[in-house]
Each structure stands twice: as structure tokens, then as C-alpha cells.
Amino acid sequence: MNSATQKPRTLAEKVWDDHVVVKGENGEPDLIYIDLHLVHEVTSPQAFDGLRVAERPLRRLDLTIATEDHNTPTLNIDRVIADPTSRLQIDTLRRNAEEFGVRIHSLGDKEQGIVHVVGPQLGLTMPGITVVCGDSHTSTHGAFGSMAFGIGTSEVEHVMATQTLPLKPFKTMAINVDGTLRPGVTAKDIILAVIARIGTGGGQGYVLEYRGSAIRALSMDGRMTICNMSIEAGARAGMVAPDQITFDYVEGRDHAPTGQDWEDAVAYWKTLPTDEGAVFDAEIFIDADELEPFVTWGTNPGQGVSLSQPVPGPDDFDDPHEKVAAERALQYMDLVAGTPMKDIRVDAVFMGSCTNSRIEDLRAFASIIKGQRKADGVRVMVVPGSARVRLEAEAEGLDQIIKDFGAEWRFAGCSMCLGMNPDQLAPGERCASTSNRNFEGRQGKGGRTHLVSPLVAAATAIRGTLSSPWDLSIDTAFAPTEEVQA
């Protein structure tokens, strides 16, 4: 590949080009090499079974890793899993991993946890690679400047057997976020605002590249939060160009390159950012200075507003589909248009999920609740993304702050992000949740979800109504993430 004569390319195009095994002719897909395949219990069983039926081996065990997350309980993890279907899926994963020789991190292991937390923490997720998993939130890993996307079970089998996927190139969209976030406004608020702007279908067919000074200023945990929810805008993947913050995050992790390999890697990674003059298929601009803490009011992640706003009504929308959607959402959420968002009482607060369960998220949450008591009648659950995050948090004493606050400190897993394990909302219960999907019934049948940042989750847990950290009289100790890292 001769870069001198080549037309300017985007980050996504560069990563794509460097993974083409066979170029597709006449509109056929390219055959793309996959650097890292993450596996969990829900979408893998039929793929393993397919290999078995066809008597095919798993081609690259050294590029494959499995963990248990969706079905795992977050209490009493040493006991037998009560739900028989959950237990069956987990047992099946364990048996398959053993039979095929796949590295697995099971319940009780330090590296067990949500698959999208585990990859980065092991240093397996790095810039310039391709990452797939049978899970839509694989987009998380794009925060490193990798091409990462979710795949279906047939594709899981395809990757297991061939370490490649036939794919047609995606279109590219630049999401420019310039300016400086005000204290109390975080990565989660950026992505909720982006989705509210472009809609849940706005990213369809695109890889989104998040750019601009506000993105550059974010930590890796913040960038992961943003890329994680790219899928909620309908996009295939989200990416952030790698920079020194990325390199510093990866360096020294268990599976990060070392010595000369590290030097080679960084030299290559520095060539990845989008070239001057490269053209995106679409582009949007967001002013970071303007952003406020954000919250969803409806039943899709695009139905969000600033916390200082009232609940919108059908009349606020011109599009007839959006009008109908708003009506239905208000009914399901049991909300009346015009009610200030901040008057809405919650029954539960969920702090966790692959969007916001990393150590920095827990630190941000703890910085607000420290020395406080949760509001009466509100159930607060804090679920670290991985067993390692749990250990880190305990080493820093965050668990004590959380327990003193009156919240439950749980073991790692997807937990109340989706109703697949015992952690669920009861019908009609309302929850401020740091997760990524507010679909009807997502957190339990009849449950009502408001998506928020960890800081908003904390403020809400203190006041009992949807609240921004700006509403608290306590010292504005809420930590801009850089400060915490230092």
C-alpha cells in the first residue's frame, strides 16, 4: 500500500484496508480478517454446535476468548445458578470452551465480567484491529481506534471456522464534538445528545467517527461509553482515533505488546487518524459547551432531553411517526407531557452495564454519594463491569462508600441492563439506569427506564427524583474524569 500516492482516507477506511484478505469483485463482499473474537454464553452455543456438526475445528484459539456475563447472577455467585435456562447456557459455554480449547473466564475468576469490559482491561483491545462478538455493543471497542462490531450466530460460527467475515464496506459519518464540557456533564451526556439529534436510525449503514476537542479530552472510559452506544443510533460501529491517551491506557496491560513490538505498534497506530482532506459520507456538529446532563423520557434511546427540560409531548414532533411513538412512549412510561423531568420520582437506580461500569464510572458515582444517604424507598444497585473492576474499587474503598450510602454492592455481570438474570425491575417500577437501552420491558417486564450518566444516577439516588449533580447543595466534588485519573 503506497500511502504517498493514495487519496486521503478516514480512520475506518485505513483499518478496513489493512484487513482485506480477498478483495470482492463485482459488488461481492470483501473477505475481512478478524483480529479478536469475543465470545459469551448467549450467542455462541449454536455456533459451536455448527462446528461440531460440520466437524470443523476452531481456527484460531489464540484470537478467541470467552466470558460469562448475560445470565450470571450478581449475588451468591458460588451457588448453583437457579434459573434452569441460564444455567444451561452457562454450562454449555463451559463445556464448549473445554471441548474446543477456548480460553474462558468463568464466574468467580478475576477476569470474568461483561465481555466489553474484559477485552480492554486485558489489553487485548487495541488500536487498528478488528474485533467482533455476537453482541451489538461490541462497538464499545472502537474507542481504541479499532473496527469493532456485533455479529449474528451464523457469523460467529463463520469467524470460529475461518477467522474472517465476508463484508461490504460501511459508509462513514463524522460526529464532531468541539468545545469544553461543563463540570457535571460527561461522555454519557454527549452520546445521549448525539442520538437525540440523529435518531435511532440516523447511523444506519455507517461507521461513526467521534472527533473534535471534547472527544480528545475524554479518558478511555469516557470514549468507550460513547462508542458503546453507537449502535443505539443504528450505526454498525463507532470509532475514536487513537492518541497518547489510548497508548497510555493500553501500555502495561497483560496482553499489551512489549519491547520492540510495542514500538512497532505505536508507530503504526500513529498513522491511523483520519487524513487531512479525507471525505466522510455524512457529518454532524455538536457544541460541547452547550451540553447539559441528559436523560431519556421515552422508550427508545433517541427520546431524550436535557434534565432541565419538561417531558415533551406528541405536539413537539412534526414527524407523524415520532408523534405516535411519543404518545405510546408516554403511555408506557406513565408520564404526562409538560412535567419537569426533575419532578419524576424513581423506584430504583441501576449503576452498571457495559456503558458505565468501569472503574472511572464507579469513581464518578462514588464522588457524588460520598458521605450521603440514599433517598428513602429507592433501591440502588451498583454492579461493576468485571470482577477485576470490583477488586480495584474495593482496593480504593469505593465499596464502603457505596454500602454506607445504602446501596447494594454486587458481583460483576450484565445484571439489570437486561432482564435475563435475577436482577429485574418489577412491573411499573421506574429506574434511573446508566445502561444503554430503555426499550419496553428491557430491565424486566413492565419496567420503566430512564437512561442517565453515573453522575445523574448518583444525584438521583440522593434526591429520589431525576436530578443532575447541579441540583445538589453538596460541594461540587463531582469529578471531571481527568482529575480522578491524575
Partner 1 sequence: MDKISSVTGVGVPFRRSNVDTDQIIPAVFLKRVTKTGFDDALFHGWRQDPGFILNQPAYQGARILVAGPDFGTGSSREHAVWALRDFGFDVVLSPRFADIFRGNSGKQGLVAGQVPESDIERIWALLEEEPGREMTVDLESQTVTVGALSIGFDIDAYTRWRLLEGLDDIALTLRNEQAISEFESRRERWRPRTLPVRQSAGAE
> Whole-angstrom Cα distance, residue 38 to residue 92?
16
Count of residues touching partner 1 (by CB under 8 A): 52
Q: Contact 383/416 with Cβ under 8 angstroms?
A: yes
DSSP output for 120-188:
HHTT---TT-EEEESSGGGGGGGGGT-EEEE--HHHHHHHHHHSEEEEPPPEEEEEEEES-PPTT--HH
Residue 87 C-alpha cell reads as 444455567
- For the window 159-178, what string marks contact with partner 1 as x by the rule CB under 8 A? --xxxx-x------------
Rg for the chain, CA atoms, rounded: 22
| Nearer to partner 1 (CB atom), residue 2 or residue 473 | 2
Applying CB under 6 A, which of residues 9, 37, 105, 137 lies at the interface with ligand SF4? 137
Residues within window 354-373 making contact with ligand SF4, judged by CB under 6 A: 354
Q: Contact 345/376 with Cβ under 8 angstroms?
A: no
- For the window 66-105, what string marks contact with ligand SF4 as x by the rule CB under 6 A? ---xx-----------------------------------
Residues within window 407-466 making contact with ligand SF4, judged by CB under 6 A: 414, 417-418, 435-436
Give the shortest CB-424-to-partner 1 separation in angstroms.
17
With CB cut-offs between 5 and 8 Å by kind, which of ligand SF4, partner 1, none does residue 70 bind? ligand SF4
User: Is residue 103 involved in binding partner 1 (CB under 8 A)?
Assistant: yes
- For the window 349-388, what string marks contact with partner 1 as x by the rule CB under 8 A? ---------------------------------------x
Residue 279 identity = V
> Whole-angstrom Cα distance, residue 313 to residue 317?
8
Backbone angles phi, psi at 449, to 5 degrees: -115, 130
| Nearer to ligand SF4 (CB atom), residue 184 or residue 447 | 447
Q: Which residue has the cell 434526591?
A: 463
Residues within window 130-159 making contact with partner 1, judged by CB under 8 A: 153-154, 157-158
Q: Which among 245, 436, 470 has a CA at the least distance from the CA of 356?
A: 436
Give the shortest CB-107-to-partner 1 separation in angstroms.
18
Q: Which among 449, 371, 366 has a CA at the least distance from the CA of 409?
A: 366
Report the side by side order of strands in the sheet with 348-351.
Answer: 408-409, 379-382, 348-351, 430-433, 448-451
| Nearer to ligand SF4 (CB atom), residue 145 or residue 413 | 413
Q: Which stretch binds partner 1 (CB under 8 A): 218-226, 297-305, 371-379, 389-397?
A: 389-397
CA distance readout (Å), 481 to 97, 217, 239, 417: 38, 10, 20, 23
Binding residues (CB under 8 A) for partner 1: these are: 21-22, 31, 33, 35-36, 45-46, 49-50, 53-54, 56, 61-65, 85, 88-89, 92, 103, 110, 123-126, 129, 153-154, 157-158, 161-164, 166, 252-255, 257, 261-262, 264-265, 268, 388, 391-392, 395
Binding residues (CB under 6 A) for ligand SF4: these are: 69-70, 114, 116, 135, 137, 353-354, 414, 417-418, 435-436
